[in-house]
Chain A
């Protein structure tokens, strides 16, 4: 297998243009966490015409609800959750400038269209590999919705966070291409 590509977060357009479905990446920089309940609140803010709790332009959202940190630890275990549950909210965030998403599993057609139309990228991390992934998180700070506990929005500083490009900005789809390659039935 090829070596992983090192990329910086937040994302820039020239980096997005270089990424293709199936590429392994190591992300270093700042990413934000949000899952079901936080997404619902973000969209409610937009409906009310209010500002989001962080500037979403160029950012990554990592779909994760970590376990509580043990005393002295930065964060608990922190693997990806199923991205499809955020599909209803995602196109609107991409339109506002969200560029990267990290989760697991396939996205809806609406999300894939938004990724293509607005030059974004969706990456998958290995689901369940939560203790391993947590090692790449160097700093974690709750910036909004503390009452949501594991679902609060966190600002994470990551170093060499491992992920795989699942859907690139050109319509490339690892799930579709990978499965087609190994499918042995009609």
Chain B
């Protein structure tokens, strides 16, 4: 068994929180750049250029690209050969506490009813899975509320099938309009259960933008949905244009014979995600 210390986890999480807020991954930057070239609306083009300019300032000056530095969402894969003699959750939350404090990030987490701020952006949302090997892979995807609030879930009837899925996804993007800061990435979770579909949708957002779905049928469906979404005309920031989404990502899982859950998780153009391996 390989021992990993709580301090290592905390230190890694702290650094991930700060870099995720300030330095965007190249997949998103290049997707926005190619959208700026193709956008037909002059105002839409200017908005995309402003977004790219902002990414550059944030990276160069080490500032958060968006003031909504999000609620910290983690996907952690723990190798079966790793020995953890402490609470993984506590070590991650300590990393969030330090990262949000030392990185001058906004603390945006509060009690759901009393609305009192926890003051340190904890607790984080942590999804942990056990995998083979003796490493720990930590992925962070800090999520802002502007786009998260435009996400929806519906339990479709199996008879509604693929057509039902398509119209629910398109309707969700339509209802969101300019609110989620388009151009967006649309994460779709199909199948599983009520809870599983939402998790699939969230997880699908971690796939690098611009990479094809390994499943041919899903890849075709993603491309069809992307074209339909961009035909809506919502455009950058909802001002009208041909770029409403940069990508559609779909993940599926077997479900009950009587149900067809569909979750749509909307991600703004600041599609922040980082990972580290310990």
Contacts and interface: CB of A to CB of B under 8 A. Distances in A.
A179 B234 contact: yes
Contacts of B268: 127-128
Interface in A111-138: 124, 126-132, 134-135
Contacts of B238: 104-106, 124, 175, 178-179
A52 interface: no
A97 interface: no
A66 B105 CA distance: 9
B64 A128 contact: no
B30 interface: no
B232 A183 contact: yes
A88 to B, nearest CB: 15
A177 interface: yes
Interface string A75-103: 01111011010000000000000000000
Nearest to B178: A105
Nearest to B39: A182
Contact of A128 (B66, B231, B241): B66
Given A105-B178, A178-B239, A182-B235, A126 B67 contact: no
A10 interface: no
Interface string B35-46: 000001111101
B117 to A, nearest CB: 6
Contacts of A185: 228, 231-232
A174 B104 contact: no
Contact of A130 (B43, B47, B66): B66
A70 B179 contact: no
A134 B40 CA distance: 28
Contact of A182 (B106, B117, B145, B241): B241
A77 B178 contact: no
B108 interface: yes
Given A79-B67, A106-B178, A185-B228, A129 B240 contact: no
A180 interface: yes
Interface stretch (B50-58, B124-132, B214-222): B50-58
Nearest to A181: B240
Contact of A184 (B41, B115, B231): B231
Nearest to A135: B57
Interface in B225-239: 228, 231-235, 237-239
Contacts of B54: 126, 128-132
Contacts of B106: 65-68, 76, 150
A155 to B, nearest CB: 18
Given A104-B179, A178-B41, A128 B65 contact: yes
A61 interface: no
A128 B104 contact: no
B268 to A, nearest CB: 6
B270 interface: yes
Contact of B233 (A105, A164, A180): A180
Nearest to A151: B117
Contacts of A135: 57
A134 B181 CA distance: 18
B202 to A, nearest CB: 19
A149 B105 CA distance: 12
A1 interface: yes
Interface of A: 1, 22, 24, 37, 64-70, 76-79, 81-82, 84, 104-106, 124, 126-132, 134-135, 149-150, 162, 164, 166, 174-175, 177-185
Given A79-B67, A175-B238, 18 more contacts: A24-B46, A37-B115, A65-B68, A68-B105, A77-B58, A82-B149, A128-B66, A128-B270, A129-B53, A149-B117, A174-B239, A178-B241, A179-B233, A180-B233, A181-B240, A182-B40, A183-B233, A184-B233
20 contacts: A1-B43, A69-B104, A79-B68, A84-B179, A105-B178, A127-B66, A127-B146, A128-B65, A130-B67, A131-B61, A131-B63, A149-B119, A150-B106, A150-B107, A150-B108, A162-B50, A174-B239, A178-B233, A180-B240, A182-B240
